[in-house]
Amino acid sequence: MALLEVENLKVEFPTRKGVLTAVDNVSFNVEQGEILGVVGESGAGKSMTGAAVIGLLEPPGRIGGGQIRLDGKRIDNLSPDEMRKIRGRHIGAIFQDPLTSLNPLFTVGEQLVETIRTHLPMSAAEAKKRAIGWLAEVGIPAPDRRFDQYPHQFSGGMRQRVVIALALCAEPRLIIADEPTTALDVSVQAQIIALLKRVCRERNAAAILVTHDMGVIAETADRVAVMYAGRLAEIGPVAHVLQKPSHPYTAGLMGSIPRVGPRPERLIQIEGSMPRLTDIPSGCAFNPRCPKVFAECHRVRPELRQLADGAAACLLYEGVTP
């Protein structure tokens, strides 16, 4: 059984003009110790998927259908109190801006010790030792001195290291990281990615890495889910999805990323932009931008279809002839 199973997840936003569906019928699993990348452009519903899994959807957003199971037990219908116990102990969270995860009024050490003692049976002295160990683990120099400092005394990269320590210190088996490197400088991004990969591997923790950055996915994830307009376009092993994408959207996305090396005259571009939630096209949501579109695409919504390597939601793979 997979560590996390997400089945037909639907996230809705009631507005006065009707209910908007931000995540639409999304299913995937995360295995023990695996890093799943969730990638997509803004408005794809990737962050919303992550937030639904940790139960941190901003109201009025709500789970409108489907199930989320951790170790086979449903967690999508838990009360806020029960969910709070799951968060931290079983699921850790890392967000884009480290300052939102750290309380400016407490020292880094106090926050670590509190998190550890909330979730693990430990004395204060043991917890402190453990906390300093974690600071060292995430690569913070002079951890016993830094233990007593406040978040504002850390640089951006160091703060994100502290957030990673905080997310991992109760030894959860799943980590949700939402754009963990986006706010950081490029040279620091690489450090944080390497760190995240290392600690996940050493602890055999699984992670869902939500990002818009294909580079981060390429360096970190085992499998990747590509989202478009709230739906899964494609999911599969990273090497396969990035190098031999099955879905025309993934192919366009990969082609539009500038690369180093001899420069082309033009980048491959996908015309248009992601539809707003209020006017998602019927049939396949990608059809107005798709270079391989045919008549059926306007009518039939493709289901995620298992392929040799991974799965894609595209009528090209449903035996529908153009």
Partner 1 sequence: MNAAPIAKTGAPLLQVKGLKKHFAMAKPFLNRLLEGGEQQTVKAVDGLDLEIPRGQTLSLVGESGCGKSTVARLIMGLSNPSGGSILFDGADISRAPAGQPADIRRRMQMIFQDPYASLNPRWRVADIIAEPLRTYGMCASRQEERREVDRLLEFVGLNAKDGDKFPHEFSGGQRQRISIARAISTKPEFLVCDEPTSALDVSVQAQILNLMRAMQRELGLTYLFISHDLAVVNFMSDWIGVMYLGRLVEVSPAAELFANPQHPYTRLLLDTIPDLGMSKRDRQPAAGEVPNPINPPPGCHFHPRCVLANERCRSEAPVLRMYDGGVRASCHAVEEGRGVEPIMAQASAAHPLQAAV
Which residues in this chain contact partner 1 in the complex, by CB under 8 A?
A: 41-42, 155-158, 185-191, 193-194, 197, 212-216, 218-222, 238-239, 242-243, 252-271, 273-274
**d(C-alpha 79, C-alpha 59), whole Å:** 15
Measured from the CB atom, is 64 or 156 closer to partner 1?
156
Measured from the CB atom, is 124 or 268 closer to partner 1?
268
**The residue to which tokens 């010790």 are assigned:** 113
Instruction: Compute φ and ψ for 184, nearest 5 degrees.
Output: -105, 160
Measured from the CB atom, is 75 or 205 closer to partner 1?
205
- Least distance in Å: CB of 267 to partner 1? 4
DSSP per-residue letters across 222-277: SEEEEEETTEEEEEEEHHHHHHS--SHHHHHHHHHS--SSSPPSS-----S-PPPG
Is the Cα dihedral 202, 206, 210, 211 positive or negative?
positive
- Least distance in Å: CB of 120 to partner 1? 30
Angle made by CA atoms 306, 179, 44, in degrees to the nearest 5: 50
Measured from the CB atom, is 6 or 226 closer to partner 1?
226
Measured from the CB atom, is 197 or 305 closer to partner 1?
197
Measured from the CB atom, is 79 or 187 closer to partner 1?
187
Strand order in the sheet with 231-237: 91-94, 174-178, 206-211, 35-39, 223-228, 231-237, 311-312, 305-306
**d(C-alpha 196, C-alpha 245), whole Å:** 26
- Least distance in Å: CB of 263 to partner 1? 5
Strand partners, 11: 23, 63
Measured from the CB atom, is 109 or 157 closer to partner 1?
157
Measured from the CB atom, is 12 or 34 closer to partner 1?
34
DSSP element (H, E) containing 48: helix 46-53
- Least distance in Å: CB of 272 to partner 1? 9
Whether residue 175 contacts residue 205, with contact meaning beta carbons closer than 8 Å, is answered with yes
- Least distance in Å: CB of 266 to partner 1? 5
DSSP per-residue letters across 176-205: EEESTTTTS-HHHHHHHHHHHHHHHHHHT-
Instruction: Compute φ and ψ for 289, nearest 5 degrees.
Output: -110, -5
- Least distance in Å: CB of 57 to partner 1? 23
- Least distance in Å: CB of 251 to partner 1? 11
- Least distance in Å: CB of 100 to partner 1? 19
**Residue 122 burial (CB < 10 Å; 0-12/13-18/19+)?**
middle
Helix (H, G, I), strand (E, B) or coil at 122: coil
